[in-house]
Chain A
Amino acid sequence: MSTFSIASTTGETIRLAGVSKTYETASGPLPVLRDINLQVEAGEFISFVGPSGCGKSTLLKIIAGLVSYDTGTVEVGDQKPKAGREDIGFMLQQSVLMPWLDVSKNVELPFVIARRQDVSTSRRVEELLDLVGLSSVASLNPWELSGGMQQRVALARALALDPGIMLMDEPFSALDEFKREYLNIEVAQMADQLGKTTLLVTHSIGEAVLMSDRIIALGANPGRTVGDIAVDLERPRRADMIGTDQYQQICNEVRAALASDLAGEML
């Protein structure tokens, strides 16, 4: 990937206070989030880790305005959450590229949807593809790319409208260990330099430590905060930090926060 020189909107703040959510299911109400309080500073990189069913993805969808919440307040850049905001970029576990569009057209899609295509769009798409190191495959079809490359296209697409907030729902979980680690570093460095407020949902403690400024550990049934751990590894993040004592110590802190909740559940 190139150095990140393209113009960038700086991050926005996110505030959640007393947020709870219960899904109505066929077998009755299912509480998924209880009393979530969180303040995310502009440009901060936060990861949510926790077991399956702890409401990590629901939390991200609430912030994106895709799912409503029952109680509490949510402010995303001083506004209530609303689906389709141009200041939010979203990345999912799958790359969700449109197979009928080539790579550059996939990156261009947010401009088309927002009806913001103009003479500068193709240049912007070129810049984004350069940013994720895929300039040479702009005219290829998505199925001709590896899984890692497909996720890079999804990243370029999420950054297309230069959002202040990036929401990433397990975007690397379908990749093999090597590609995952490589992209972890690249995205962490990119988030640093672009100054986006970034929220990452992940099952991987190591990934969370390597990328984040802060890790929110969530317990399950219902999802609630069981730990708020600062990651004071120096920036920019590098792959060789993985073996350090400091990295291991933070991993252990996160593990301990999650384990205490799991132990309580087992008893």
Chain B
Amino acid sequence: MTNSVFYRIGLPVLVGVVLVATWQLMSNFGMINEIMIPSPAAIVVGFSELVTRGYFWDSTWVTLQETLYGFAIGVTLGLIIGALTGTFQTFRTAFYPFVIAFQNTPRVALAPIFLTWFGFGITSKVVMAAVICFFPVVINTVAGMASVDDNAKMLFRTMGASKSQTFFRLTLPGASAIAFAGVKTALTLALLGAIVAEFVGGSVGLGVLIKELNFQLEVAKAFSVVLFLAVIGLVLYGLIELLERYLITWKQD
């Protein structure tokens, strides 16, 4: 039963359909204020209008660029710093307390500062996305490296493995499953960072578009952009999951 297609796919689809239908009916019967919460039908109409506008696709492209550049920079730096922290005790002692301290500060608060430093263009958004997705990658990489089996390390010693052989043939692949979980979290956070930075100050992007539509009381369209962002997030997450399956084939172990 729990393995059937209906249970795994049909059940959540059914729940979604019931929720949307209930929402639509409540709107039709005036039980929900449409100005505050537009009906599903109004959101679909609003979205169909938006997709015909060039600025919608320009905004989408800019937000995607900010997210992916920020993700690439944050993940690259996170993996490097994480690997250094996990490998060198002195590096860990010197820098890791700052990583932990910074991890626990609300990093979105940096968005106005980045705006001052890097201006209203794409750079401030990329930096925000990179900073926000850097930490889970560092922390998961360190945790992944710490999780490598002591017996495996001993076995490598018995085989006379050099430090670099142990790192590339044991520590790196051994840490990759946990490190990749951080990379997956980072992708979602990168989108969040880009949107927050656009809210704080920007001229183009889906975050800017949501803000402007809200000011114009085009709430249905604003809702549709939020849902579109959810779809973008899901697609990106699906792609990173595919990459994980390709790279970490042994995860089912």
Q: Which residues of A come within 8 Å of B, CB atoms?
A: 64, 66, 83-86, 88, 90, 92-94, 96, 98-100, 109-110, 112-114, 141-143
Contact = CB atoms under 8 A, between A and B. Distances in A.
Instruction: Tell me which of A64, A99, A109 has the highest count of chain B C-beta atoms within 10 A of its own C-beta.
Output: A99
B169 A92 contact: no
B249 to A, nearest CB: 7
Contact of B155 (A85, A96, A141): A96
B165 A113 contact: yes
Nearest to B154: A66
B161 A84 contact: yes
B144 to A, nearest CB: 13
B252 A98 contact: no
Closest 8 interchain pairs by CB? A84-B160, A99-B250, A143-B253, A90-B158, A113-B159, A99-B253, A100-B173, A113-B161
Given A84-B161, A100-B173, A92 B155 contact: yes
A84 B157 contact: yes
B152 interface: yes
Measured as residues with beta carbon below 8 angstroms from the partner, the interface class of chain B is: 20 to 34
Given A113-B165, A142-B253, A98 B159 contact: no
Contacts of A100: 173, 248-250
Nearest to B156: A113
B127 to A, nearest CB: 34
Contacts of B253: 99, 141-143
A114 B173 CA distance: 19
Given A113-B156, A143-B252, A98 B170 contact: yes
Nearest to B158: A90
Given A83-B158, A113-B156, A96 B149 contact: yes
A96 B152 contact: yes
B158 A88 contact: yes
Nearest to B251: A99
A143 B149 CA distance: 16
B169 A113 contact: yes
Given A96-B149, A99-B253, A83 B155 contact: no
Nearest to A160: B159
A113 B250 CA distance: 21
Give the most central of B155, B250, B252, B253: most A CB within 10 Å: B155
A64 B184 CA distance: 41
Interface string B125-156: 00000000000000000000000010110111
Contacts of B173: 98, 100
A138 B240 CA distance: 30
